Amino acid sequence: MTLSNVSIEPLARGAEANLYPARFLGRDALVKRRHKKAYRHPALDTKLRASRTILEARLLSRAAQAGVPVPLLLHADVPLHELIIAKLNGELLSRALDPLAPALQANAVAQCGTALARLHAAGIYHGDATTSNFMLDSVTQAAGDAKATAKVWLIDFGLAGQSSSAEDFAMDVVLFKKSVSPALFKVFWAAYAKENLKLKAKPDAKRIHATLDEIEQRGRYVVRSQAGG
């Protein structure tokens, strides 16, 4: 393994892991390093970090095989609880979306819908599928808004898992819905449902949307109960 120029300061800090810019085999990369949790027993902490590193590596690879646009996994070092992934040059969709032209916005969120449908069809939920975990890689506007394209990647599988549950998949959709406008969510959902049907995925889009409605109804009930309590 040829890893060099690993930054001392993290590019991003997370609850479970930090990201460090580096070079790996001559290319720009990011080292995702899971840090120790002082409140856990050392042996348990080591076991949990190792198992989570293995799971995330497997899910990233499976997602890529399913046609989901994800960063390339370059190396997994389980003893060090590290993943080395190819660095993407772009901006988080949460920051990039609003300034885009309407056609580019629609194109971007449609790609998000397609990507998430493919992920779910592969039996994987993301766990934090907001616009903060999609990255806009490049923008090309060839001939006006009608032909605008925007390459979008799904990133950070730190909370992802394996499932066949409509509840898990619907929670991903709920999180995305909360991060965009109602108009853009309609575009997202149309793309999701189309890809879900194309892949003949189970549970189907109708079931997932029904579960989404149930989740939102439970949320409204909790809010009303707290307000009245």
**Any catalytic annotation for residue 128?**
yes
Q: How far apart are CA 166 and CA 85, in angstroms?
A: 30
The residue type found at 79 is P
**Residues 6 or more apart whose Cβ sits within 8 Å of residue 72:** 64, 85, 86
Between the alpha carbon of residue 30 and those of residues 19, 27, 73, 128, the distances in Å are 6, 10, 10, 20
**Looking at residue 138, what DSSP letter applies?**
E
Distance of CA 66 to the CA centre of its chain: 14
Contact 163, 123 (CB under 8 A): yes
Q: How far apart are CA 22 and CA 85, in angstroms?
A: 10
Q: Which candidate in 28, 77, 98, 128 is catalytic?
A: 128
In 3D space, the residue among 175, 187, 177, 174 whose CA is nearest the CA of residue 106 turns out to be: 187
Q: How far apart are CA 62 and CA 143, in angstroms?
A: 35
**Residues 6 or more apart whose Cβ sits within 8 Å of residue 12:** 18, 19
Q: How far apart are CA 100 and CA 80, in angstroms?
A: 40
Contact 150, 107 (CB under 8 A): yes
Q: Report, as residue numbers or ranges, the catalytic residues.
A: 128
